[in-house]
Chain A
Amino acid sequence: MSAGLILLVLFGSCYNDREDLLYPSITDCNTLNAEYAADIAPIIQSSCAIPGCHDAASGNKGGPFINFTQVKNKAAIIKAQVVSGAMPQGLSLSQEQIKLISCWVDSGAPNN
């Protein structure tokens, strides 16, 4: 009885969820054309490339996000981190901003 209860608790609520699929509203890019210069760069500058985070002096794992190449090289992990809300630390992006980043990465992270 108790062993059955333990097994139920351990295996009973197992899901294989992914945030980009669980919340399609932020990853539905049908009507959105995200542009690096107009949409992405301003978000990066105001929320990521700031002192103590990803500015030019950044010593953390992500490194600096000062120019397009640096951002493009980290595009997949940037999308994962903002979709999950893990980044930016101490700040929060709007759903619209998260969607812009997600869609820009999905379109191949172009320099448009």
Chain B
Amino acid sequence: MRLTLTVLFTCLLLSNYIAKAQTDTTDLLKGVTNQSNEKQYVTAAFKSSRIINGHSMELIGKNVLDFRILHRFGYVNDGISNLFGLDEARMRMGFDYGITNNLTIGIGRSTLKKELDGFFKWRPIRQATGAGGSPVSVVWISGMTLNTLKWAVPDRKNYFSSRLGYYHEIIIGRKFSERFSLQLAPLLVHRNLIDTDINSNNTFALGIGSRLKVSKRMALVLDYHPVLAGEQFGTYDPLSIGIDIETGGHVFQLHFSNSEGMNEKEFVTNTTGEFWKGEIRFGFNLSRVFSLNRNR
């Protein structure tokens, strides 16, 4: 399965290059008419700061607050008795804030494991056209998670550190055309406490995210995190497919995913649904941005 998806992505990437090569003559003409060749940053590679579960290469602007509400429902294949999963829901509520155009911090809380999470997201390199422009954006994200459930075994010495998990991620992404963006994101998740030697404290995954714009306000998105090392017993690679709908200030993301968790630690190490067996969940992300600039 992993191989099939990798081949699929490679084909997508190649087809884009071929399409680009075919339109090179028009690009040359554009170069003749646009004499300035000034450096211009590429914007809106993705419509939101998350592809579906994972971070995208996009950051929110300076002094912008992004209020995010995420929902994941039960398995669709539970059938009508569970209204195809809609009878049960997990939620994450979070706030992201842009300190600068290249630095975002965020916090959130998930109902699953009553887990708090926080992160910073920094973009040292931003994709730009014109002289000296980078062909890709590079984004570094580091975050922590804190499980606040009651101790499962209270009658022993429990340690605060056992509640903690961490993730570190480097995103390398490019907006290839107005319609197509692709990013690769190596991701390390560390959990301070695991159960036994059937599992591993460290899990290494490769985030693959893509967006294909189909109309002015809608885009297809794909978010896949094949686990390359330290896979947890009984878990599967998180795979999500969805559509983004933009309605001015709001971005709705509707999707199907085999993952229940809504932070990196949780969806990389604890995705128990087998996508191709129909163990998928409907979910949505709702994002509303507020500009906190004082002089506006």
A contact set with B: CB distance below 8 Å = 6, 9-11, 13-20, 22-23, 25, 61, 76-77, 79-81, 83-86, 92, 95, 98
CB atoms of B192 and A19 under 8 A apart: no
In the bound complex, residues from chain A placing their C-beta under 8 Å from that of B196 are 18-20, 76, 79-80, 83
CB atoms of A19 and B120 under 8 A apart: no
Can you report 14 residue pairs joining A to B where beta carbons are below 8 Å apart? Answer: A6-B142, A14-B166, A14-B190, A15-B161, A17-B159, A17-B192, A17-B201, A19-B194, A25-B156, A76-B198, A79-B196, A84-B153, A85-B151, A86-B195
Nearest B-chain residue to A18, judged by Cβ = B194
Majority secondary structure, A binding face:
helix
CB atoms of B194 and A17 under 8 A apart: yes
Nearest B-chain residue to A93, judged by Cβ = B153
Contact of B162 among A17, A61, A83 (CB under 8 A): A17
CB atoms of A77 and B194 under 8 A apart: no
B contact set with A: CB distance below 8 Å = 120, 142, 144, 151-153, 155-156, 159, 161-162, 164, 166, 168, 190, 192-199, 201, 233-234, 272
In the bound complex, residues from chain B placing their C-beta under 8 Å from that of A95 are 153, 155-156
In the bound complex, residues from chain A placing their C-beta under 8 Å from that of B199 are 80
Please, how many angstroms separate the alpha-carbon atoms of A15 and B164 in the complex?
A: 9
CB atoms of A77 and B193 under 8 A apart: no
Contact of B142 among A10, A23, A83 (CB under 8 A): A10
In the bound complex, residues from chain B placing their C-beta under 8 Å from that of A17 are 159, 161-162, 192-194, 201
In the bound complex, residues from chain B placing their C-beta under 8 Å from that of A79 are 196
Quote the shortest CB–CB distance from A57 to chain B (angstroms). Answer: 14
In the bound complex, residues from chain A placing their C-beta under 8 Å from that of B164 are 13
Q: Residue among B153, B201, B272 with the most chain A CB within 10 A?
A: B153
